[in-house]
Amino acid sequence: AANAALAQTPDASMIQLGSDIPAKWKAPEEAYNYVRREVMIPMRDGVKLHTVIMVPNGARELPMLLERTPYDADGFAQKGPLGLRDAVRSANREWVDDGYILVYQDIRGKYGSEGKYVMTRPPIGPLNSTKTDDTTDAWDTIDWLVKNVKEGNQRVGMIGSSYDGWTVTMALRDPHPALKVAAPESPMVDGWMGDDWFHYGAFRQVNLDYFSGQTSKTGKGSNVPRPGADDYQTFLDAGTAGNWAKQHGFDQLGFWNRLAAHPSYDAFWQLQAVDKMMTAKPSNVPTMWLQGLWDQEDMYGAITAWEALKAKGKAGNNHLVMGPWYHSQINRAAERLGPLKWNGDTAADFRRDVLIPFFNTYLKDRKPAEPLAPVMIFNAANKQWDKFADWPGTTQLTPLYLQADSGLAFQVAPAGEDSYVSDPAKPVPFLAPPVSFADHDRWTTWLLQDQRAVATRTDVLSYKTPVLTAPVTLQGAPMADIFAKTTGTDGDFVVKLIDVFPPFVAEQPEMGGYQLAISQDIFRGRYRQSFEHPTAIPAGVVQEYKFRLPTVNYVFKPGHRIMVQIQSSQFPLYDRNPQTFVPNIFFAKPEDFQKATISVQRGAAGASSVLLPVVPASTALK
């Protein structure tokens, strides 16, 4: 029988003439509840930007939610799922439920878009000699959208976190009339002062992988390969960030070269600081500035931009929201943050109950059920949102002074000092080694780790109050005000404001004695007199280091203690200060790295303190 089958003459249905791949394949679309359009939107200079538009079936007169991203628009709007809810990223599901057209665009020079990529492209002007920037690109995009998306209602809202939050801020510099509302989430606002690249001049080495990932290719580049699993050792062996960059071919990367040539707050940084641009031309678009209270990447931007607009009289339409979130957690599940647990998903609830109603007010003429408070800041001690008519709760700061014997009190201490040796060969780890920058869970929660991990080191000073018998409520930004001398000619100061939990916490035993930093930052000593013009620290002479710490809305409860920790490194997140003044720390030589004895002053010689925004009673709205 087998032989008989072989002998059979094949008929025409058995033979493929030509290719098995049709010249043009069209997948049936009936089963989808949306249409996915990919378009190339022309900008004023002819460059076309790749844009994905997700339109629900049957849409009529719907607003558009626009996100401009350097992180691959295709990835925000998958091709597979039949339902729009599943095709968009999870944070956008509530928007789909509410009835929105979702638009994702690759910014110039990234992924599917034409043109040249420039890192957080400065605005047209002294740093950008072309005729386009992310303000004109947003304008041209919105103009095209309102003219070409027939299912739209001629109104656009812009949203996005981090880099995508920065693209929102750039659109606000000269908003298209159809841009009716905006939400920059954890936007990068000032890369030198306190967002991604530096904090008060201390360089964040975690970004070295970002530079190669983002600027070695139009698509996604890779992280730099490592010689071992522990980034503490890797970066110690590299010596300086400059060395490390050189070893890994970074001299080919334009942005790294510009950043490394501008370690101080010169015109390069000042002319691209978004809050400064906002002050020059404040926007009237209703805007909700959002960020996390433990935002490990862009802690500085949202509140600073909100303050800049407020100072320009933009109060009515200018909202501030600080949630119990790590960086961009507003777009993820947020039932907890590190060891802290909340009642429900603080991000999803917020998106549904506050953010979307805010957008609907301007895009759908739908009033929110309750009027929106100008300021909403989560109180992590009480596990609740507090609403405020204004912020901060007080502009009066109360000094909490360092005392002898590791004490901390609201009275000035008698004169004295506490010394430690800061050794660049053994910097204080920002996370207990082994540490990997690629470990997402540890990276997103490092600001909340138990500071007992470093409290026993001899190069970390810890001061604490007695056990509190009454609550101490803070509503605003604390300031570190440290008087210190050093045997070196440069040096860093890290100051942490910490809530020390009671020794036993019955409802969560792992929190017994926990040292939770509620606000912390680093300051590079050479910038104590000027961010633009660094100066050597005179060895052995007391100097003042005064800098603002991240904003808090917090209650130290009875039974807890307030703690302040001071140290001179947080490695490998921040590059090491050689403690010898050199023109550019990126290119310090091995011999520049020297031990230094730091003597922190108390009392008459310099009353070191942390200035606290203490309020006698909460100013939150009832």
Residues that bind ligand PG9 (CB under 6 A): 120, 162-163, 166, 188, 196, 210, 297-298
Minimal distance, residue 104 CB to ligand PG9, in Å:
15
Spatial distance between the Cα atoms of 74 and 52, rounded to a whole number of angstroms: 7
The alpha carbon of 617 is separated from its chain's Cα centroid by a whole number of angstroms, namely: 30
Minimal distance, residue 547 CB to ligand PG9, in Å:
21
Residue nearer to ligand PG9 on the CB measure, 110 or 602: 110
Q: Which residues pair with 152 in a beta bridge?
A: 62
Spatial distance between the Cα atoms of 276 and 261, rounded to a whole number of angstroms: 22
Spatial distance between the Cα atoms of 608 and 509, rounded to a whole number of angstroms: 34
Residue nearer to ligand PG9 on the CB measure, 173 or 526: 173
Residue nearer to ligand PG9 on the CB measure, 210 or 463: 210
Pairing outcome for strands 318-323 and 375-379: parallel
Minimal distance, residue 430 CB to ligand PG9, in Å:
17
Residue nearer to ligand PG9 on the CB measure, 76 or 210: 210
| Paired tokens of 511 | 């929190």
Minimal distance, residue 123 CB to ligand PG9, in Å:
15
Contact status, residue 288 vs residue 183, Cβ threshold 8 Å? yes
Spatial distance between the Cα atoms of 279 and 308, rounded to a whole number of angstroms: 6
The alpha carbon of 422 is separated from its chain's Cα centroid by a whole number of angstroms, namely: 29
The alpha carbon of 425 is separated from its chain's Cα centroid by a whole number of angstroms, namely: 29
Minimal distance, residue 368 CB to ligand PG9, in Å:
29
Give the nearest residue (CB) to ligand PG9: 162
Minimal distance, residue 343 CB to ligand PG9, in Å:
27
Contact status, residue 521 vs residue 549, Cβ threshold 8 Å? yes
* Chain position carrying tokens 């040796």: 421
* Chain position carrying tokens 């919105």: 142
Spatial distance between the Cα atoms of 84 and 515, rounded to a whole number of angstroms: 44
The alpha carbon of 149 is separated from its chain's Cα centroid by a whole number of angstroms, namely: 32
Minimal distance, residue 223 CB to ligand PG9, in Å:
14
Residue nearer to ligand PG9 on the CB measure, 166 or 256: 166
Residue nearer to ligand PG9 on the CB measure, 70 or 239: 70
Contact status, residue 517 vs residue 549, Cβ threshold 8 Å? no
Minimal distance, residue 169 CB to ligand PG9, in Å:
11
Residue nearer to ligand PG9 on the CB measure, 100 or 166: 166
Nearest to 185 by CA among 109, 297, 290, 45: 290
Q: What is the largest CA-CA distance in the chain?
A: 109
Say how many Å lie between the first and final Cα of the chain, rounded.
89
Residue nearer to ligand PG9 on the CB measure, 231 or 459: 231
Residue nearer to ligand PG9 on the CB measure, 297 or 481: 297
DSSP class per residue in 30-78: TT-SEEEEEEEEEPTTS-EEEEEEEEETT--SEEEEEEEESS-HHHHB-
Minimal distance, residue 131 CB to ligand PG9, in Å:
23
Minimal distance, residue 331 CB to ligand PG9, in Å:
11
Residue nearer to ligand PG9 on the CB measure, 110 or 364: 110
Spatial distance between the Cα atoms of 595 and 419, rounded to a whole number of angstroms: 13
Minimal distance, residue 427 CB to ligand PG9, in Å:
23
Spatial distance between the Cα atoms of 55 and 551, rounded to a whole number of angstroms: 40
Residue nearer to ligand PG9 on the CB measure, 160 or 175: 160
Residue nearer to ligand PG9 on the CB measure, 165 or 478: 165
Q: Count of CB atoms within 10 A of residue 292's CB? A: 28
Minimal distance, residue 107 CB to ligand PG9, in Å:
11
Amino acid at 463: Y
Residue nearer to ligand PG9 on the CB measure, 162 or 543: 162
Minimal distance, residue 214 CB to ligand PG9, in Å:
7
Spatial distance between the Cα atoms of 42 and 137, rounded to a whole number of angstroms: 9
Pairing outcome for strands 62-69 and 101-106: parallel
DSSP 83: S
Spatial distance between the Cα atoms of 178 and 163, rounded to a whole number of angstroms: 22
